[in-house]
Structure 1
Amino acid sequence: MSDTAEFKATLTRYLKARIPFISIRSAERSRVLELLRDVGSALQAPVYVHTLSQGTRELGSNRSVNDDRSVTGAVDFASQQFAQRQNLTVILTEVSDIEDDTPAARHLLDVVMLAAENSGSVIVITTKPVWGQLQRAGMSLVLSAPTEDEMLGIIRDNLNAYREHFPIEWDDADERRAAAALAGVSRIEAENIVATLLANGRITKADMVEVMHAKDRIFADISGIERVNVRSSSLNVGGLGGLKAWLDKEQPLLTADLRERGIRPPRGVLLVGVPGCGKSLSAKAIAANWGLPLYRLDLSTIHGQYLGQSESRLKDALSTADHVAPCVLWIDEIEKGLAGAGGSGDGGTATRLVGQFLYWLQESLARVFVVATANDVSKLPPELLRRGRFDELFFVDLPTPAERREIIAIYTQRGLRQEVPAALLDEMVELSDGFAGSDLESAVREVVKEAYLRGDEVVTAELFRRSFTNLVPLSKTAPEQIESIRAWGRERAVPASGQPIGAATQQVRARRQVLA
């Protein structure tokens, strides 16, 4: 049974039982009224509905029964009608100021008591909580956004109406991908997105990209996470063959319907390792390659000064991520935001944040692919590393000679717009022993700066040598730190390069022994 069918069945039981007060939490008023119209027609009982634009009318026939458009007037009219007739249902769509003990809430409670005496029902459609005493007089319901199956039906209904008029290239698989992408938005939002595509006079395979980014515009003003704009043209990641192969395998599963198999979509990866080796760049590249919007969750901004504030902010941020799914959620240096778990210095806030994040990571069914990065592995909470949290834990090591060659070629092609001679490239690979990806970028950047300031003719082999030899990498300033990180990774992580951790250093040592 779908969520909508279950909602409709429960609402029918409530009205048959003549529950005096029913609060329906939903932002889709028209969809709720449509369901109420079906239920009221089946029960063959009078149903009135009040709106600020039309006053009080019969729900089925739309005949006016009270021209007073104010909420107070509608509540007073309902009170009169409950005193005169049985089995009446009154729907209020614009009631405000009933979240707390207010005169409006008490006035409505009086009417509900009168409805209870005469087998009547008051239904309130709202997006806010209801005063406890009023809510205890009845029952509450929540109408969730359309499920994937329901969204598929909405998409097909809208497309089928135009198939004879416009060329529509989408097949069944495309429609299902669109339904997975739009799951979580309201029906009217989905209809607006499809209508926008149809306004072009045709729907093509390429329009799927527009569907994937539609939620980004709908939820653009929701706080909690930051939208990151990525340019795919500048996001080539050198090396990391093992990580890339794993991602290629997992990508189709992110939007596939896996419910019959009883498994959930990919949840994400935790990237740990040597600083400056492409962990953050990988998050951007994944979003660009998969055609998904990228959002960044900065855990350092989550912490508040009041008790419970940090937890509330994290909950809102993760809820926002669920709404904008499918997407990639990038959590940079996650150890800094969750550091201190298990200690008492922060009153247990860090421990609660870890628990809340892990619960969401394990239980949320939204198609959010998390890419978390960490440099200081000693500060990672042990709970975060348990199998089943992330789909995989990758260790990003210093690039091997082959990876350095690829990275240098990418940066030189991008900045100088020309290929480096093979012999010079071999020399740069040798000079860059122990360089991280960021070190290689910095060295090439010096050459590009000189080319921009003094002209491309100054780019010589000597300029490359000087730029590379003047840079001192972290592996030489803090070798103990690098080896400590590697020792941790060997026992706990999968090498992102596809080669054993520390292979770059071993290859260099072996080559030097041969040359000696």
Structure 2
Amino acid sequence: MTNYAESRRDLDSFLNARVPVIGVRTIEQQRGLRLVREAATDSRRSAMPFWIYTRATGLRDLRSNATVQDDRSLTGAMEFAAAQFTSRQQATLILVDPDDLDHDTQFTRHIAELARLADANAGSIVLITDKPIWSGLQRLGMSIQLDLPDAEEMYGTLGSFLDDHEGVVPIEWDEQDRRRAAEFLRGVTEAEAINLIATIVSKGSVDKSDVLTVARHKDRIFSDLAGLERINLEGNDHQVGGLANLRTWLGRKHDLMHADLRGTGLRPPRGVLLVGVPGCGKSLSAKAIATEWQLPLYRLDMASIHGKFLGESEGRMREALNTADRVAPCILWIDEIEKGLAGRDDLTGVSQRVIGHFLFWLQESTSRAFVVATANEVRSLPPELLRKGRFDELFFVDLPEEQERAEIIELYYRRYVKADPDPEQLARLVDLSEGFAGADIESALHEVGAEVLLGGGAERLRPSFVEDTFANTPPLSRTNPERIEEIRSWGRDRAVPAGRSRGLAAAGAAPPTTRRVVRWAE
């Protein structure tokens, strides 16, 4: 049952019971009004009077919309209701978005007195508001939380809108497309969803590709929300070389991300934790996934989560994760996650509470927010983060092997030199780049690209210059070998290799028998 249907059922029960104060909490005023109007127009209540007050229209009859009195003030409406509550049975007053409901004020006490008058003659006051209701007033009645439309309700809304335009514009969407669009629109209001689909219809057709257009339009609604940083991805500069295991695994998760999971008991993919050698493509992978999956990318800066006041860090984390749920479907990138979640020696307990909030969300959230978390200082990660079931998988990103280095060199050579490398030169560069991370290769070819720009074009580029540039680039594996070996020894038997598995064996020690290997059904 959708939340709207549950809210309608509860409202019917409260009106039948003549509860004196009924709070309808919602940020969608029009949807809340529709809920109350549907209940009021039920044939069982045809003899019950319903009046509604708004600041714009004053006091009116809910069913006929006729003006009740010329005095358009709230005070006048409450005086009218007081007279009616004392003289007739089962009357109902609806107040839309009144001010100062959340505190003990003269106004809320006036409402409470009016509710007691209503209670004496089986009357009710319905408060439609997006704010909390003062506890002294709330204890006189019951409340309803009208949440944003879920995927099932959104599917109905989209279906009704598109059905109204059948024969007016060409519509290519089948039921699966409508289901996907409805999933994408979770977290927006009904009015925002209708505006989005109307924008698509207004171009003259509804194409298959417009399903992803829905996700992009939704992203604009939330572009200024607090808690997350929107990362704009332009062009095709977010390709990743190597990492064959990871890329194959992501291909399957992409299909699951967009699948209709109703009735399967499955939840959307939760995400992946990438650990390993710095500069080998962990952060770039987050951008590449967002680009390939055509989903917005949001970055959660763990270092900015921690505040100096009691409860501030936990509040910031909760706000950021709630925002991620609302902007979904999206890629949620958490770079260097250990900076925000490490802290087993923290005597204040803040780090542990932040970890607790994050792990609870990671395990319980059903939104299509795919987390790509990266870590360099793997030994400082809390062990509970590494437990199976938190992330969908833990991958180790190692230094690229020969074939992977060749792929990375070709990728950056085309980007910066605007040409393909000569096969013999490519082989020499692969040898020269032994021990290089992907970032080291990019840095060397960026220098080559600058020389091409300043030297008059790729045709004037000397092969010796390219090779000398590689030879003069000191990789991190040589400048800090102890740290790199520590990271690699940790990852060999604790994570699935992101690249070709033989690369780990070639790096030194033979892989232990306890190393996990991901297998896919043929």
Shift, 1:500, TM fit? 4.4
Structure 1 residue 65 and structure 2 residue 74: aligned?
A: no
Cα deviation for residue 378 of structure 1 reads 1.1
Partner of 1:463: 465
Aligned to 1:225: 228
Whether 2:297 is the aligned partner of 1:294: answer: yes
Deviations 1:135-163 (A, max 9, x none): 11111111112221211111111111111
Q: Which moved more, 1:270-279 or 1:147-156?
A: 147-156
Moved over 3 A (4+): none
Q: Counterpart of 2:481?
A: 479
Among candidates 311, 314, 317, match of residue 314 of structure 1: 317
8 Å contact kept, 2:313–2:354: yes
Given residue 140 of structure 1, which amino acid in structure 2 is its aligned partner? S
> What is the root-mean-square deviation in Å for CA atoms of aligned residues?
1.5
**Which residue is 2:399 aligned to?**
398
**Structure 2 residues not aligned, in runs of 5+:** 510-522
Higher helix share: 1
- CA distance in structure 1 between the partners assigned to 2:9 and 2:127 by the alignment: 18
Distance (Å, rounded) in 1 between the aligned partners of 2:235 and 2:270? 23
Q: Give the C-alpha shift of residue 358 in structure 1.
A: 0.5
- Aligned-pair CA distance for 1:338: 1.1
2:80 aligned partner: 77
Provide the residue aligned with 1:196 in structure 2.
Answer: 199
Alignment of 1:33 onto 2:33:
yes
User: Which residue of 213, 216, 233 corresponds with 2:216?
Assistant: 213
- List gaps (5 residues or longer) in structure 1: 508-516
Q: Deviations over 1:404-452 (max 9, x none)?
A: 1011101110111101100000000000000001000001111111111
Identity of aligned residues (%): 51
Q: What TM-score, normalized to structure 1?
A: 0.95
1:215-242, Cα deviation, whole Å (9 max, x unpaired): 2111222111011011251111100110
Q: In 1, Cα distance between the equivalents of 2:257 and 2:370?
A: 8
SS of the residue corresponding to residue 205 of structure 1 reads: coil
Task: Name the amino acid aligned to 1:37.
Answer: R
Residue 64 of structure 1 aligns to a residue whose secondary structure is coil
1:481 & 1:76 partners in 2: Cα distance?
77
For 2:363, the equivalent position in structure 1 comes to 362
User: How big is the shift at 1:504?
Assistant: 4.8
How many angstroms apart in 2 are the aligned matches of 1:56 and 1:423?
85
Q: CA deviation at 1:453?
A: 1.7
1:491 aligned counterpart, secondary structure: coil
Q: Counterparts of 1:468 and 1:73 in 2: how far apart (Å)? A: 83
Shift of 1:257: 2.4
**Alpha-carbon distance between aligned partners in 1 of 2:262 and 2:178, rounded to the nearest angstrom:** 17
- CA displacement at 1:67 relative to structure 2: 3.3
Q: What are the within-5 Å matches in structure 2 for residues 387-466 of structure 1?
A: 387-456=388-457, 457-466=459-468
Output the CA distance in 2 between the equivalents of 1:212 and 1:344. Answer: 40
- SS state of the match for residue 177, structure 1? helix
Q: How many residues are aligned here?
A: 505
SS of alignment partner, residue 147 of structure 2:
coil
Among 494, 502, 505, the alignment partner of 2:504 is 502
Report SS of the residue matched to 1:260.
coil
Tell whether the 8 Å contact from 2:219 to 2:327 is kept in structure 1 after alignment.
yes
Distance 1:58 1:331, change over 3 A: same
Match of 1:267 in 2: 270
Offset at residue 487 of structure 1 (A): 1.8
* Counterpart code for 1:407: I
Deviates more, 1:213-222 or 1:324-333: 213-222
1:379-414 alpha-carbon deviations (Å, 9 max, x no partner): 101111111100011111111111110111011101
2:285 aligned with 1:277? no
TM-score by length of 2: 0.94
Q: Which residue number corresponds to residue 180 of structure 2?
A: 177
> 1: CA distance between counterparts of 2:85 and 2:255?
57
Evaluate the alpha carbon distance shift between residue 124 and residue 500 of structure 1 in structure 2; reply closer, same or farther with a 3 A threshold. farther
Distance in 1 (alpha carbons) for counterparts of 2:67 and 2:154: 34
Q: Any idea what SS the aligned residue of 2:273 has?
A: strand
CA distance in 2, matches of 1:296, 1:312: 17
- 1:8 aligns with 8
Q: What is the CA–CA distance in structure 2 between the aligned matches of 1:387 and 1:232, rounded to whole Å?
A: 36
C-alpha distance in 2, partners of 1:252/1:384? 25
